[in-house]
């Protein structure tokens, strides 16, 4: 994602959206905080780019890690952190606000022991996308439109893998009303990693 953003964000545009039109950004599943910190650093270098940047994660340990990394990178202004399972704990005040939402979800199918309903470990939240590897992404897509600012241009970016049920995911994306573009694909170890971009098209 960051490689793509480095090539497609300049002093005027965030991947074809004018910088001054972007008010609020969400980095969901922030993990180490690397994407939010990257955007915060770009914000400190460009006076045309002044959004509020939010970072969320289901694990409090990830939020703590991201905050520590922000301090280590000496960000000039504060990222706003939320611990939440997808949008479940987001305040109502954030509905209809985000111009850019970035999600690096868990996207691999569950292992057999997890399919058998054994307790999920914290580390499993980083990779376990459900029985087909797409359930978490679909749950995200069902709610994300409620948090987009549909009065302005917007983008949703997310990662998927050829190890999950991509055909079924594509069908769900279309049925939920999104325009879908596959931006890039990279082979890493045992899988193809795909960077996707969505726009919500209200019916």
Q: Which fold has domain 2-200?
A: Rossmann fold (3.40.50)
User: How are beta strands 178-188 and 100-103 bridged, if at all?
Assistant: unpaired
Domain layout of the chain by residue ranges: 2-200
Question: Kind and range of the H or E element at 184?
Answer: strand 178-188
User: What average pLDDT does the chain have?
Assistant: 88
For the ranges 61-70, 112-121, 165-174, the maximum mean pLDDT occurs at 61-70
Q: Among 110-114, 144-148, 159-163, 188-192, whose mean pLDDT is lowest?
A: 110-114
- What local confidence, expressed as pLDDT, does residue 130 receive? 56
Q: Which residues of 168-181 are buried (b: 16+ CB within 10 A; e: fewer)?
A: ebeebbeeeebeee
pLDDT, tens digit, 9 for 90 and up, residues 74-115: 765 689 999 999 999 999 999 999 999 999 886 555 655 545
Indicate whether this model's pTM tops 0.75. yes
159 - beta bridge partners?
Answer: 195
């Amino acid at each position: 994602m960051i490689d793509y953003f480095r090539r497609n964000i300049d002093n005027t545009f965030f991947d074809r959206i004018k910088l001054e039109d972007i008010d609020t950004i969400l980095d969901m599943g922030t993990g180490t905080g690397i994407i939010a910190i990257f955007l915060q650093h770009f914000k400190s270098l460009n006076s045309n780019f002044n959004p509020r940047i939010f970072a969320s994660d289901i694990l409090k340990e990830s939020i703590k890690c991201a905050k520590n990394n922000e301090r280590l990178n000496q960000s000039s202004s504060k990222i706003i952190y939320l611990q939440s399972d997808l949008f479940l704990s987001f305040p109502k005040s954030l509905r209809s606000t985000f111009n850019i939402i970035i999600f690096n979800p868990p996207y691999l199918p569950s292992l057999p022991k997890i399919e058998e309903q054994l307790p999920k470990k914290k580390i499993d939240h980083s990779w376990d996308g459900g029985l087909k590897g797409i359930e978490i992404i679909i749950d995200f897509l069902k709610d994300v439109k409620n948090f987009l600012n549909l009065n302005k241009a917007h983008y949703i970016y997310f990662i998927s893998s050829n190890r999950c049920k991509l055909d079924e995911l594509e069908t769900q994306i279309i049925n939920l009303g999104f325009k879908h573009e596959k931006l890039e694909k990279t082979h890493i170890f045992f899988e193809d990693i795909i960077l996707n971009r969505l726009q919500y098209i209200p019916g």
